Amino acid sequence: MVSTVRNPEAKQKDAQRALVVALTCQELFHLGGAEVSSSEPYAPGVAFPLLQAMQVVNERLLELNPEETLLFDVVLLAADCQQHQDRIIATTRHYGLDVSRFCFCSRDEFTHLLLRERTHLFLCTDARQVATASHTGVAAALLQPAPSRPTQQLRVLFCTDPADRPGTSQQVCQVAGLLGAMRSRLGVACGALSIILLTVQGGRESCGRALLTLRSWGLGVDEAYCLAGAPGGPALSLLAPHILFPDGSALQA
């Protein structure tokens, strides 16, 4: 049973023109262990800083052009959360979050819902869910846990190194194009959005090629790091991205 509820408090985006991002309810808020009857707003979850950063990007875009339609359009997916429905909506309103709509469904309808909502990008901390979505034809990336130093800037990281299983590059190419268009509207000097490229295993040639591939997809990279085998851990913790695209095999084409 799928039900879609619009958020009356949020300004609805033009879904044809916006960049539709799907988040899971379980990651935006801390739902676990809460009493069903309570009416207190849920505590923020791991996706909260990401959503706030996306909102800042939207604000900047609208400052530059109040008629802007290329904005982040956030859809909140809630699988098996029907009993929490009212409280989820109330919590979203409590924090004034820019979530356009809520989709309540059961777990097995999840991926179908992603496609139905024409999701450009599904974000989740669970690598398996990310892989499943990719295989279904929806671009997906890893949502990273909150960094130790909080930042207002939305940081999106592309990793060039091939993952174990290649994902579908066409969807990533499309998302990259949309992100790129957003990035160029904001202008090089704007600090609200940063596109980062990380090459862990390859060297200069790999990184250079990936920079040009992303550029050919319409996405200009702001920061590039090439490790050529130096440990990836320290770099990743310094870079502190919100979103991580793990599979780079397409970028080596």
Footprint of another protein on this chain (CB under 8 A)?
161, 187-189, 191, 194, 197, 200-204, 207-208, 211-212, 215, 220-235, 238
Q: Which helix (H) or strand (E) holds 50?
A: helix 48-64
Judged by beta carbon, residue 99 or residue 193, the one nearer another protein is: 193
Give the nearest distance from C-beta 151 to another protein in angstroms: 10
d(C-alpha 106, C-alpha 83), whole Å:
12
Least separation in angstroms between CB 249 and another protein: 13
Q: Are 142 and 50 in contact (CB under 8 A)?
A: no
Q: How far is the CB of 206 from another protein (least distance, A)?
A: 8
Nearer to another protein, 166 or 203 (CB): 203
> The dihedral of CA 23, 25, 26, 30: what is its sign?
positive
Q: Give 56 or 190: the residue with its C-beta nearer to another protein.
A: 190
CB-based contact 57:72 (threshold 8 Å): yes
Shortest reach from residue 146's CB to another protein, in Å:
18
Residue among 140 and 221 whose Cβ is closer to another protein: 221
Closer CB to another protein, 160 or 169, in the complex: 160
Count of CA atoms in the C-beta half-sphere (13 A) of 6: 7
The dihedral region occupied by 73, where left means phi > 0, alpha psi between -120 and 50, and beta the remainder, is beta
As a whole number of angstroms, the distance between CA 229 and CA 235 comes to 12
To the nearest whole angstrom, how small is the minimum distance from the Cβ of residue 153 to another protein? Answer: 10
Distance between CA atoms of 101 and 103, rounded to whole angstroms?
Answer: 7
